[in-house]
Amino acid sequence: MSPNLSPMLIKTVAPDVVRTGVSNFFGNLKTINTVINDVLQGKFQQSAEDSGRFLVNSTVGLGGFARYRNRYGIGAS
């Protein structure tokens, strides 16, 4: 399948809710890198906040498909 055709096919076939959920899921996985980076830089408070956001999104947010962090006041920095 052509690399240009695949995103076009996904955009055409998948509803907005699915695309948003998949995007949220992979965005949630990137939070792990952020937590590690925070620890390596000695930003332990920021690391704790990012870890909390990851845990909320991973559990209540069904693995990150739904973003609940803002409902609980855990905003992204």
Question: For the segment 10-62, what is each residue's pLDDT rounded down to a tens digit?
Answer: 566 667 777 777 888 888 889 999 999 999 999 999 999 999 988 888 887 76
77 pLDDT tier (thresholds 50, 70, 90): very low
User: Distance between CA atoms of 73 and 53, rounded to whole angstroms?
Assistant: 10
On whether the CB atoms of residues 46 and 38 are closer than 8 A, the answer is: yes
Question: What average pLDDT does the segment 63-77 reach?
Answer: 56
Residue type, 72: Y
**In 14-43, where does DSSP find H-type helix?**
16-40
Global confidence as pTM: 0.60
Look up tokens 């991973």; give the residue.
Answer: 58
Cα Rg, the chain, nearest whole Å: 15
